[in-house]
Amino acid sequence: MSKKKRRKTIFLTTLLVFMVLSTTLLLNWEQIQKKVSGSGGRTMSESQSGPISSLEEQEENARIDVSEYAMKYNPEGFAGADPEKQVGTDLSAFEKDLTFFNRELSKYEQALLDAQSNNLYFIITSVERDMRIQVQDSNGVIVTGVPFTIHVGEAGSYRDQDKDGILYVSNLIAGDYEVTMDEVEGYKVPSPTIIRVKDKVEYLPIEDIALLIKTEEDIIAEQEDTGEKDALDDADATEIKDIQELGEAGQMGIDVSKYNGDIDWDKVRNAGIRYAIIRAGYRGSSTGALVEDPYFRKNIEGALASGLKVGVYFFTQAVNEVEAVEEASMVLSLCEGYRIEYPIFIDSEGAGGNGRADGLDISTRTEVCRAFCETIEGAGYSSGVYASRNWLNKNLSLAQLENYMTWLAEYRETPQYGGRYQFWQYTSSGSVDGINGRVDLDISYLAY
């Protein structure tokens, strides 16, 4: 081969290699830019809040716009980065790099991580002509201490005055709303998010309800947990206080809460008890907070471990259907992972006369019970209403609740209640081995 031909071949080969490398680098750069650009808000799924973008799209949109930080901390671009320190914009690269935590991050990497940690997200739910907006950080924690100002379409602007990171907007007209937030120093706010407000309540569990559940450490329990047993006013001298021998007529059970303290569940079972209905929690009678019973998990796990079947109840102070769906959603969240064979009941009774739901009319209180039960039933569980004889007769429209179980509280030898019922709490002054002090005794007339 002549020198002229050899030079031409070398030139063409070099040109071809250069073109291949340039194309590869260009494609890689485009993929990186797509991966790391944009920002956005995170909302509930379409089943709860209407047509919105997928979680994957929102997380993609929430990534950092890398160009600003690349210019400041890495002006040479990716090609000029130190391969020993630069891992690009893939923030999960440490999963593949066993030495990741053994080295110092570059300024560029640290800037990316710092900026990512300052992203804010919306969690928005709508049950019926309302909207609950929660502001979270990149770790899924509600951001408190900042007086966010949030704009809800034409409905107006709302300021988080108590700085708890949660805003509740009611009395909205059904339709789609754009939710935005004013700029906040030190944070990257979510991009505009579209949420659909529903005209009618749908009895669907609220997926992020766990964010609203409080413990008794968060509240003043003495002011919030004020339920009173209405059946005590109706009791007479014939009240039975012992465990009964029922044979084929029914199953003996108990219902318990934090007030029963620590329980030896093996002794309870050996005493003849076959099931337990356990309080999951209550809504505060003053503030309306959703509060988990501090003994719920201990009780349900102990009862199941001893071989007892379990049901659950929740003391309501809901004042409308929306709050009833919240209460049912809380119970379903707490029951996840446990075998619940007996019904889940809404406990409808007074809260000392000053409870937020004590003054409800019959229609509203019945709607509350029905919304709770429908939400529970929709999740695949049996449901029911607990109340005293007088409460059932005077404060509820029973014709609208006939599709659910009735758990009657009436403390006398033979109930005078004329309606149907499947469970009977016949005393609150029972005695069972394994429990210190008094305990409620119940009969189930259904086999589970």
Q: Output DSSP code: residue 233.
A: G
Read off the pLDDT of each residue in 210-227 and give the average, rounded to a whole number.
Answer: 94
The whole-number pLDDT of residue 66 equals 42
Per domain, the residue ranges of the chain are 1-36, 121-197, 209-444
The whole-number pLDDT of residue 87 equals 46
Q: Which two tokens stand for residue 20?
A: 């291949």
Read off the pLDDT of each residue in 444-448 and give the average, rounded to a whole number.
Answer: 94
How far apart CA 79 and CA 337 sit, in angstroms, is 50
Q: Centre a 10 Å sphere on the Cβ of residue 156 and count the other Cβ atoms it contains.
A: 9
The phi, psi pair for 196, rounded to 5°, reads -100, 125
In Å, how far from its chain's centre is CA 10? 67
The whole-number pLDDT of residue 141 equals 85
258-271 pLDDT, tens digit each: 999 999 999 999 99
Is pLDDT of 319 > 90?
A: yes
> Is the separation of the CB atoms in 255 and 227 below 8 Å?
no
Element (H, E) at 194: strand 193-197
27-51 pLDDT, tens digit each: 554 554 444 443 333 344 333 443 3
Q: Return the CATH number of 121-197, one of 3.40.50, 3.90.1200, 1.20.120, 2.60.40.
A: 2.60.40
Q: How wide is the angle at C-alpha 428 spanned by C-alphas 424 and 432, nearest 5°?
A: 95
Residue 282 bridge partners (DSSP) = 291, 315
CA distances from 143 to 76, 163, 164, 303 (A): 37, 8, 7, 37
Q: What is the mean pLDDT of the chain?
A: 83
How far apart CA 49 and CA 138 sit, in angstroms, is 21
Read off the pLDDT of each residue in 391-397 and give the average, rounded to a whole number.
Answer: 97
Question: How far apart are the two ends of the chain, measured CA to CA in Å?
Answer: 94
277-295 pLDDT, tens digit each: 999 999 999 999 999 999 9
Is pLDDT of 437 > 50?
A: yes
Residue 118 pLDDT class (50, 70, 90 cuts): confident
> Is the separation of the CB atoms in 270 and 213 below 8 Å?
no
Element (H, E) at 21: helix 3-36
The whole-number pLDDT of residue 447 equals 87
Share of the chain above pLDDT 70, in %: 74
The whole-number pLDDT of residue 86 equals 44
Q: Positive or negative, the Cα torsion across 308, 309, 311, 312? A: positive
Note the pTM of the prediction, 2 decimals.
0.70
CB within 8 Å of 10: residues ≥ 6 apart: none
How far apart CA 394 and CA 419 sit, in angstroms, is 13
Element (H, E) at 45: none
Nearest to 291 by CA among 326, 322, 325, 244: 326
Nearest to 316 by CA among 357, 376, 359: 357
Q: Does domain 209-444 match CATH 3.20.20.80?
A: yes
For residue 234, the one-letter residue type is D
- Helices (H) and strands (E) counted in the chain, each on its own, are 11, 17
Residue 166 bridge partners (DSSP) = 134
How far apart CA 325 and CA 202 sit, in angstroms, is 9
Read off the pLDDT of each residue in 197-213 and give the average, rounded to a whole number.
Answer: 88
Residue 114 pLDDT class (50, 70, 90 cuts): low
Read off the pLDDT of each residue in 306-323 and give the average, rounded to a whole number.
Answer: 97
How far apart CA 125 and CA 216 sit, in angstroms, is 25
CB within 8 Å of 44: residues ≥ 6 apart: 52, 123, 124, 125, 207, 208
Residue 421 pLDDT class (50, 70, 90 cuts): very high
Q: Positive or negative, the Cα torsion across 344, 207, 297, 340? A: positive
- Which of 9 and 342 is assigned the larger pLDDT? 342
Same fold, 121-197 and 209-444: no
Residue 251 bridge partners (DSSP) = 444
Residue identified by tokens 């005493």 is 271
* Region of poorest pLDDT, from 17-31, 108-122, 230-244: 17-31
Q: Output DSSP code: residue 119.
A: B
In Å, how far from its chain's centre is CA 33? 35
The whole-number pLDDT of residue 331 equals 98
Quote the crossing angle between the two packed helices 66-73 and 107-117, to the nearest 10°.
150
For residue 319, the one-letter residue type is V
How far apart CA 226 and CA 350 sit, in angstroms, is 9
Share of the chain above pLDDT 90, in %: 63
E strands, 34-142, are: 121-125, 131-136
